[in-house]
């Protein structure tokens, strides 16, 4: 078990840690990080990836954002828009069109990072083909097309592995870095369908085993479990009833979107983890966003910690 070490600092004007919760002045960003920090966030055209990229940008990172969407479509968001918003928040956003089905394209992303910066401090493996999952929600395994397995495992599990393979050497060269695998409580509790759960369980097992091989290198790896996150895709499926706004998931029930996390809440979780002195002791473990917020002292954009969980028993 890791011991709690207070993480008191500010990123992008946001205070984190025990001192922040007690109303005390946090230590400065400069005491936590050097002058230049570089991150790669995969699948950052929209949703959780975008939220994480924006918070890293607000913390002053140079953030490479990858994704397939370069032109606006039915679901809002492009990699270019994310990069531009990172710039507006004080960071440096670099958009790279990348299909994570193609290992050569992924390799090229990290070759570019090495050429332009020679380092990588944070890798967030987030890419996931969520729109493709929607028609499969609540379906039994014998009702799913076989390609559902390939889609969920390839983009979400294999893609996290591939990016880590190419990104880890940049961190190892500097004996420092953090890999965050965006996963889900579906790793330990039933959610959506069989292939979804298998994919998330594989991500968490990968996190645990990567931590064993990274032990002593200065590089840490964790899994991050979001709660219910109000993404652009979720908004498209939202329903209203009077003043209530909610989403209904087949076989899982109705969820109140007014209390959902913003995508940037997950970004604050990543920034808080990166600033923790005990991050090496956390390596290999999964953490929920809400539990991290309570422990490390950050809130969502509205100043609250939302508690809408898809699987409260997990």
Q: Which residues are catalytic?
A: 196
Q: Closest by alpha carbon to 197, among 235, 246, 156?
A: 156
Q: Order of strands across the sheet with 253-256?
A: 239-241, 244-249, 253-256
Going from the C-alpha of 246 to that of each of 47, 66, 161, 249, 255, the distances in angstroms are 17, 30, 34, 10, 5
**DSSP strands (E only) in the chain:** 9-11, 14-16, 38-41, 62-67, 92-97, 122-125, 177-182, 219-225, 239-241, 244-249, 253-256, 286-288
What string of DSSP letters covers 123-166?
Answer: EEE----HHHHGGGTT--GGGS-THHHHHHHIIIIIHHHHHHHH
Is the torsion defined by CA of 146, 150, 151, 156 positive or negative?
positive
Measured distance between the N- and C-terminal CA atoms of the chain, rounded to whole angstroms: 19
């Amino acid at each position: 078990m890791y011991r709690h070490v207070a993480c008191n600092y500010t990123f992008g004007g946001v205070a984190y840690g025990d001192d922040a919760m007690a109303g005390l002045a946090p230590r400065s960003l400069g005491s936590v990080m050097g002058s230049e920090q570089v991150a790669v966030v995969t699948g950052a055209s929209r949703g959780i990836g975008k939220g994480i990229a924006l918070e890293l940008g607000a913390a002053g990172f140079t953030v490479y954002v990858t994704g397939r969407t370069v032109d606006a479509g039915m679901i809002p968001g492009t990699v270019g828009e994310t990069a531009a918003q990172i710039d507006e928040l004080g960071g440096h956003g670099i958009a790279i069109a990348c299909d994570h089905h193609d290992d050569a394209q992924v390799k090229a992303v990290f070759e570019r990072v090495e050429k332009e910066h020679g380092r990588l401090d944070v890798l967030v493996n987030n890419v996931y083909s969520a729109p493709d999952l929607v028609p499969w929600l609540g379906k039994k395994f014998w009702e799913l097309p076989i390609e559902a397995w390939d889609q969920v495992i390839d983009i979400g599990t294999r893609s996290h592995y591939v990016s880590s393979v190419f990104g880890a050497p940049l961190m190892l060269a500097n004996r420092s870095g953090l890999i965050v695998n965006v996963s889900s409580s579906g790793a330990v509790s039933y959610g959506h369908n069989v292939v979804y759960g298998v994919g998330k369980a594989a991500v968490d097992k990968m996190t645990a085993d990567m931590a064993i091989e990274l032990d002593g290198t200065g590089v840490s790896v964790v899994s991050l479990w979001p709660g219910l996150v109000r993404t652009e895709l979720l908004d498209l499926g939202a329903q209203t009833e009077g003043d209530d706004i909610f989403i209904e998931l087949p076989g899982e029930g109705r969820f109140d979107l007014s209390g959902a996390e913003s995508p940037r809440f997950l970004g604050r979780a990543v920034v808080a983890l990166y600033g923790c002195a005990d991050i090496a002791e956390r390596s290999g473990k999964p953490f929920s966003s809400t539990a991290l917020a309570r422990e490390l002292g950050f809130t969502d954009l509205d100043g609250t910690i939302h508690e809408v969980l898809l699987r409260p028993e997990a």
